[in-house]
Structures are given as structure tokens and as C-alpha cells.
Amino acid sequence: MLSESAFVRPEKTLLPKPEFFYSEGFSSHDLADIVSKHPPVLARSLENHIIPNFNYPSNLLESQESTIVSIKRRPLLLYHDLQTYMAPKVNILLEYGVPKSNIFMCMDYWSYSSRTDGKVFKVVVEEVKKMGINPLRSQFLEAKSLKTTLSRLQWESKVNMLKRWGWSEEDFSVAFQKYPRFMLSSKDKIIAAMDFFVNKMGLESSYIANYPILVVYSLQKRIVPRAVVFQFLLSKGLINGKHKLLFTLFNHSEKAFLERFVNSYNEAP
């Protein structure tokens, strides 16, 4: 909520703030949306907080338009002390070679993790780089955020579970480089997926390492029904059993799947 003092002299405390936003390119609709999402933003000092918080990403990205887009998504960027909590982490990422454009892509989510300790942040960044993910790729920041989200215990528990399914260190490295987000799936979901692909479909566990996004898809709504179609078409000799084709079947959108694997075979029931 706004402090009572903000209303004592509104022409001095409140009016300059919307005027600043309008002068920088925000519309009245943008400002209304920002205030509705996070009203305390207007309680911040214009000179000491709002303007420096707007200028920092603008100078970093060299794009006022990109900064406006980011602030509209996450008004908390105007609330936190970016020079204290964000700037040191941005400098670390730049040191490791992460492009400014990629930093911008995740900047609007940083308001939630802006208070992460800088030393811990650097350790995680170094761990991600050692896992073989190129800092120039967008997956680098995604992997960094994911490793920050999961505790070390959660991380090690999932890695060890996958090793019990036959994954090597290289398998895990390949999977994580291709699609880091698969590690956000619960252990039960990962186990269920591995059981289906390995025990029911007869695939090697390393196959999932090459296509880790398969772990994320719903077994009941996507994987199992499409596997039934695959097995039927395979039994009729209408398709081959190549692994790449199998991944295509699971990865296609619903419309593309129906067109390619159902509607194309009118003679099949």
C-alpha cells in the first residue's frame, strides 16, 4: 500500500511520477497496468529509485523500448534496488560471455531472485558452464535459473535416479544441454516416463537423454495415445521404427500429428 505521506502533497510526490513514465514512452494504459500489478512502486522515490531503476536496464540494453516491455511484464523491477541486487550478477554474466540480449530475455523474471547471494550466483554460473552449455546460447541462463531453483539435494536425487535407469554422466550432460527444463519434472513423473519408454516401448534409456523434452509431456494425454498409433502403423508396415520418426510423432503439435500420422492413412481404422 502507498504510505500516508504520499498523499500529503500529491502535486509534489505523485504527479511527477506519471509524468516521468509518459515522458519515457509509457502509455496511460501501461501505467495503470503497472500500478494495478504492484501499487507500492508509486511509493518509491522518483529521483533516488524509479529513475535509476529505469536507466540501469536502458543503459545496459541500449534500448528504451526493450526496457519498457520488461517493466510492463514485471513492475517489481522498479521496486527492487537493481544497483545492489542485479548489477553485480549482470556483471558476472557479462564476464562469462553471456550476450546482453540474452540477459534481457530473462531480466523480467529477475525481480523474484534479485536477492540471491552474489557468491552463490557465481558458483551456479560456473557449474552451468562446466556442464558444457555455451554462454552464448539462451539455454545458459535457463539452466542457471533452474539450478538456482532446485536445492542441491533435489538436484543430486534426480541425477542419481537417472543413473539408476542407466544414464551415464555424458547422457545427463547431453540431456541438460538440450533441454534443461526437464529437471523441473518431479521424480515420479521422470520415473513414469522412463518406465514407459524403456520397459513398455523397449527403447534404450539413452534415447530419452537425446530427447529430454519427452519427460515433460503428459503420459496419459499425449505419449500413451500416440504410442498406440505408432505401434499400429508399425505393425501394418505403414511406417518404419526409426527413432527420429518416433520423436517427431511425440513432439508434433496435435494438428500436425493428426495430419501426418492419422489422416494420411485413411485405409487404417
Averages of pLDDT over each 10 residues, the chain, 269 residues:
53 81 91 88 88 87 82 83 84 91 67 64 91 90 86 93 95 93 95 96 93 96 94 86 84 92 73
Note whether 43 and 3 are within 8 A (CB): yes
Note whether 45 and 14 are within 8 A (CB): no
99: left (phi over 0), alpha (psi -120 to 50) or beta: beta
Same domain, 256 and 171: yes
Same domain, 74 and 114: no
How confident is the model at residue 23, as a pLDDT?
92
Domain range for 89: 85-149
Same domain, 120 and 180: no
Domain boundary among 149, 164, 182: 149
Domain boundary among 38, 62, 79: 79
Same domain, 42 and 131: no
Cell of 65: 523500448
97: left (phi over 0), alpha (psi -120 to 50) or beta: left
State how many domains the chain has. Answer: 3
Q: Is 269 domain-assigned?
A: no
How confident is the model at residue 94, as a pLDDT?
92
Coil, strand or helix at 99: coil
* DSSP-assigned letters across all residues of 31-96: HHHHHHH-GGGGGS-IIIIIHHHHHHHHHHHT-HHHHHHHHHH-GGGGTS-HHHHTHHHHHHHHHT
How confident is the model at residue 114, as a pLDDT?
52
How confident is the model at residue 269, as a pLDDT?
56
Domain boundary among 79, 94, 110: 79
Same domain, 29 and 72: yes
Q: Is 18 domain-assigned?
A: yes
How confident is the model at residue 267, as a pLDDT?
57
How confident is the model at residue 111, as a pLDDT?
47
Q: Is 267 domain-assigned?
A: no
Q: Is 232 domain-assigned?
A: yes
Of 206, 152, 205, whose CA–CA distance to 183 is shortest? Answer: 152
Same domain, 157 and 242: yes
Of 48, 105, 104, 49, whose CA–CA distance to 76 is shortest? Answer: 49
